[in-house]
Amino acid sequence: MMTDYIQAAMQRATYRLSQDEDLVYGEIPGFDRVTACAETMEACRSELVEALEEWIFFHLSRQLPMPVLDGVELPVKDML
């Protein structure tokens, strides 16, 4: 279930190249502060997955609501 959720979130990720620093910037719309910045797209994606996992664990540990993504949801009370 967690893998499906992460995959659904990562499909929403957007990336852009920072012209002044030659870095790739990534974010997931709808997930506050889930961002990453790295020298390559692959590294940026990896850092973005890490940031997303931290966001998920933070929300689950505090029983905060989680958005439903493509019909995939993480039921907060069932995960604890």
Question: 9: which residues sit within 8 A by CB, 6+ positions away?
Answer: 28, 31, 52, 69
pLDDT computed for residue 78 by the predictor: 52
pLDDT computed for residue 5 by the predictor: 96
Report the distance separating Cα 54 and Cα 14, nearest Å.
18
Into which CATH architecture does domain 2-63 fall? 2-Layer Sandwich (3.30)
Enumerate the H helices of 1-40 as residue ranges: 2-10
pLDDT computed for residue 21 by the predictor: 80
Q: Determine contact, residues 35/52, Cβ cutoff 8 Å.
A: no
Q: Determine contact, residues 15/22, Cβ cutoff 8 Å.
A: no
pTM above 0.85, yes or no: yes
Could you list the mean pLDDT of each consecutive 10-residue stretch along the chain, which spans 80 residues?
94 93 94 96 98 96 91 73
Q: Return the domain boundaries, the chain.
A: 2-63
